[in-house]
Amino acid sequence: MSPAPNVATSAPVDDDLWSAVGDPTRRRMLDALIAGPGTATSLSEVLPVTRQAVAKHLSVLDRVGLVHSTQVGRERHYQVDEAQLARAVAQLSAVGNAWDARLQHIKRIAESIERAKNNTHDTSHKDASEKHASEKGKNHG
């Protein structure tokens, strides 16, 4: 049986980044901003949240570097930082691969236990059959 995947060798994870993309509203905002720059007002028109809520979500995304803003008149225009988004996707992929390896290891352990259980059952059943055949031979001899 192969050793369990080493948790210490998993790719480092930026918890703030994951927390930011963990919110479904922020993910929808990122989806909208991937199409092109937007403002808190324009995003609030396509999302089921208020402009103030959008502004708070944008500040979270800005803090972790997923979006950047520029001041244009009275409003801030936000756009996705593609390099930081690619970093988030790479982390998600690395964590997914690490969990896939862990789950495969658990599956192999479970299969090994099941095989051992079946072999024990088969052996005890075979032993009982042999004992019965032996006793049957004694009675006829």
CATH fold of 14-80, please?
A: Arc Repressor Mutant, subunit A (1.10.10)
Domain map of the chain by residue range?
14-80, 83-141
| pTM (two decimals) | 0.61
Rounded mean pLDDT, 124-135: 62
CA distances from 134 to 44, 126, 130, 140 (A): 83, 12, 6, 10
Q: Is 4 helix (H, G, I), strand (E, B) or coil?
A: coil
The pLDDT tens digits of the residues spanning 48-90 come to: 999 999 999 999 999 999 999 999 999 999 999 999 888 888 8
DSSP assignment of 57-95 equals HHHHHHHTTSEEEEEETTEEEEEE-HHHHHHHHHHHHHH
More confident residue, 12 or 62: 62
Q: Which residue has the higher pLDDT, 121 or 139?
A: 121
Give which of 56, 12, 57 is closest to 31, Cα–Cα.
57
Calculate mean pLDDT across residues 88-113. 87
